[in-house]
Structure formats: structure tokens, C-alpha cells
Amino acid sequence: MSDLQVTDEVLGDAERLLGKLHAEFRTISAHRDELHDIWGAGAVADAMDAFVDNWSWYRKKLLTHIESVGGLVGSARETFRQTDHRLAQTG
């Protein structure tokens, strides 16, 4: 078994990427409105609208999980920072 190795930079990147992912999924319904005209035939557009509407429930659930993971990453980052600071003071 090896020691855990993580940097503040890695955790910060993960936090930022999760934030971007969350923002993208949060605003995805606006993209549907932008794309509606290019879907073409009425049947295709209706099918895509139905898909997006059905996806809404799953998207909300996914957003909740992304927020949770983002919170965990942020907490881990802060804990590592505090621990590193305490170790630097005692070492």
C-alpha cells in the first residue's frame, strides 16, 4: 500500500472542473431552446423535446451529486491545507 499523494493544485482543479460541470448541467435547458430550430422535422423536434424533459429529473439528481462531490473535494482541500500548516509549524 502506498501513501496518499495529492496536491492543492489537483484538488483546486477538481473543484473548478466540478463547478464548470455543475454550471453546464444547470443551464442545459437553455441550450435546448437554442437548438430547437436545428432539429428539423416536427417529429424529431418533438422527440428531442421529450428526451430533454425526461432528462430533467436525472439532471437534477446529477446536479445534487456534483454539488456533494464538490463539497467533499473542498472539505478535503481545506483539511489538507490546515494539516499542512500545522505540520509546518511543528516541524
Q: For position 48, what pLDDT does the model report?
A: 79
> In the predicted model, is pLDDT for residue 2 greater than 70?
no
Grid cell 445534487 in the structure block, residue: 64
- The pLDDT, as a whole number, for residue 5 is 82
Taken in order 84, 85, 90, 91, the sign of the CA dihedral is positive
Give the tens place of pLDDT for each residue, 12-60.
999 999 999 999 888 877 666 677 677 777 788 788 778 777 777 888 8
In one letter, which amino acid is 30? A
Do 81 and 12 meet the contact criterion of CB atoms below 8 Å apart?
no
| CA gap 78, 48 in Å, rounded | 42
